[in-house]
Amino acid sequence: MIQSGPIIMNSILLSPFSCLSLIFCLFCLSAFAGETTYFSAKPGSLVKAKTQLAAGDKTLAKALKKLIKDADKVLTEPPPSVMTKEKLPPSGDKHDYMSIAPYFWPNPDTKDGLPYVRHDGKVNAESRDPKANDSPAIKIMGDSVETLALAYYFTGNETYAEVAARVARVWFLDPATRMNPYLKYAQAIMGVNEGRGTGILEAIHISVAADALGLLTDSKAWPKDDQKALKEWLRTYHDWLIKSDPGRDEHNAKNNHGTFFDVQAVRIALVLGRADSAKRILEEAKQSRIAVQIDPDGKQPLELDRTTSFSYSRFNLDALTELATLGEHAGVDLWNFTTKDGRSIRKAIDYMLPYADVPPKPWPLQQIKEKHESEFMPIFRLATLAYGGKAYEAVITKYQDSPSKRFQLLTVK
């Protein structure tokens, strides 16, 4: 695909909006030859966002201002690495990713607390301790690379690209700090196992970072040799993901774990140019995800059975709508797939719509945590673009902070 160059800015801009208008006007004098491939965004949205920013779109200007603010915060943070944890994985190799299962707690009936026992929805603080878990670091890595790469794409500021590249090299490429390309020791249950397929969910941030690095194509900070080395790492990881026993276990999961496995596998396949693999998983998702996970009335029974049923219903819809967006890049339509008895992504979104309205309809099932209804905004924007109408956007406008949210740039109306 022909790449469109970023907006060129010659200095670090901590307060960029004093000259953004002029920059965008100059940029619009050149025709858009194409769009840098970023599979996490709605096809065409990045170029459309630049066009509308050039025309003075105030909503997108707020979203860009917030993006730049977020990126500036990352500039001074040290790059995360699997090497910063203190506890060794069972292999004895710090380069191996490791984490503890979040919903498992010490057993009150045994002296040593083993084996740990499950309390669904209640996060054990041990699983978030960076001294023994790589899960906090991998999230910071994915979020940082994505934020910085997007900031570079919209501003052309090489500083953002340089730091994004530095974070990526530490996590994926540098021999002293890189992660080994597999997850054998993720979400271990103490006293039961050394790791589980469910831990693959935490690696969704690998696919986010890998995708976002494609936005640095025009930057000298991320040369072709680095992109080539990244793809070698990703090929090894993707093969492990598809062929390993933990990977097969996660792929066979019926609930959100299976959906996010598909998202991760498809996104990496697209980055690697493995179109056939991406299309196969997407086609299978019609029956293995939509037909299995969604009832004809839109309920998601496998998520409603959880102690945080509202949150997991939203979580799985995040995955389904991400998968449908990836499908647009791969030529597979999940948005409009409907089973003979009426199961579809749209039905699932419509079922949740009143419960995320302002004010929300009371949630009738168990939810032991705060619901965070505003997290439905990106889902509703995607629904607007996929299905039309005013109902979804009407809810978004009720959230006062909606103009500053990143989805405004990635899913442009």
User: What amino acid is encoded at 262 in this protein?
Assistant: D
pLDDT at position 413 is 93
Report percent pLDDT > 70 for the chain.
Answer: 92
In eight-state DSSP terms, residue 340 is T
Tokens of 269: 């396949």
Provide CB contacts within 8 A for 270, sequence distance 6+: 39, 211, 278, 326, 329, 330
Work out the average pLDDT over 295-312. Answer: 98
Give 356 or 24, the one with higher predicted confidence: 356
DSSP H or E stretch at residue 65? helix 58-74
- The structure tokens listed for 275 are 């179109």
Reported residue count of the chain is 413
Mean pLDDT value across residues 364-389:
98
Q: What is the mean pLDDT of residues 143-168?
A: 98
Position 359 scores a pLDDT of 98
What is the rounded CA–CA span in Å between residue 199 and residue 189? 11
Helix (H, G, I), strand (E, B) or coil at 48: helix
Residue 375 is predicted with a pLDDT of 98
CB-based burial label for 33 (10 Å; 0-12, 13-18, 19+): exposed
Query: Can 60-252 and 255-413 be said to share one CATH topology?
Result: yes
CATH of domain 255-413: 1.50.10.100
Determine what percent of the chain is predicted with pLDDT higher than 90.
91
Both structure tokens of 183: 């997850």
Q: Provide mean pLDDT across the span 53-68.
A: 97
Q: Find out whether 100 and 126 touch, Cβ atoms under 8 Å.
A: yes
What confidence category does residue 15 fall into, taking pLDDT thresholds of 50, 70 and 90?
very low
Query: Quick check: 34 pLDDT over 90?
Result: no
Q: What is the DSSP letter of 181?
A: S
User: Alpha carbon 227 to chain centroid distance?
Assistant: 20
The dihedral sign for the CA sequence 343, 345, 346, 352: positive
Alpha-carbon torsion, ordered 241, 245, 246, 251, to 10 deg: 70
Distances in whole angstroms, Cα of residue 282 to Cα of each of 275, 292, 344, 384: 11, 14, 14, 22
Predicted pLDDT of residue 37: 84
Taking residues 23-47, report their average pLDDT: 64
Residue holding tokens 């491939």? 37
| Confidence band, pLDDT 50/70/90 cuts, at residue 35 | low
Calculate ∠ Cα 206-208-211, nearest 5°: 105
* Angle, CA 170 vertex, CA 124 and CA 186 arms, to 5°: 30
Name the average pLDDT for the chain. Answer: 92
pLDDT of residue 99: 98
Question: Rounded to whole angstroms, how far apart are CA atoms 327 and 95?
Answer: 33
Q: What is the mean pLDDT of residues 296-315?
A: 98
The pLDDT confidence band at residue 163, using thresholds 50, 70 and 90, is very high
- Identify the band that residue 33 occupies on the pLDDT scale cut at 50, 70 and 90: very low
Average pLDDT over residues 127-135: 98
C-alpha–C-alpha distance, residues 144 and 150, integer Å: 10
pLDDT at 8: 34
Q: How confident is the model at residue 270 (pLDDT cuts 50, 70, 90)?
A: very high
pLDDT, position 36: 72
Residue ranges with strand state E in 66-223: 98-100, 104-105, 117-118, 185-188
- Fold topology of 60-252: Glycosyltransferase (1.50.10)
Beta strands in 174-307 (DSSP E): 185-188
The predicted model scores a pTM of: 0.92
Residue 31: which pLDDT band, with cuts at 50, 70 and 90? very low
Where do the structural domains in the chain lie, given as residue ranges? Answer: 60-252, 255-413
CA separation for the pair 372, 318 (Å, rounded): 13
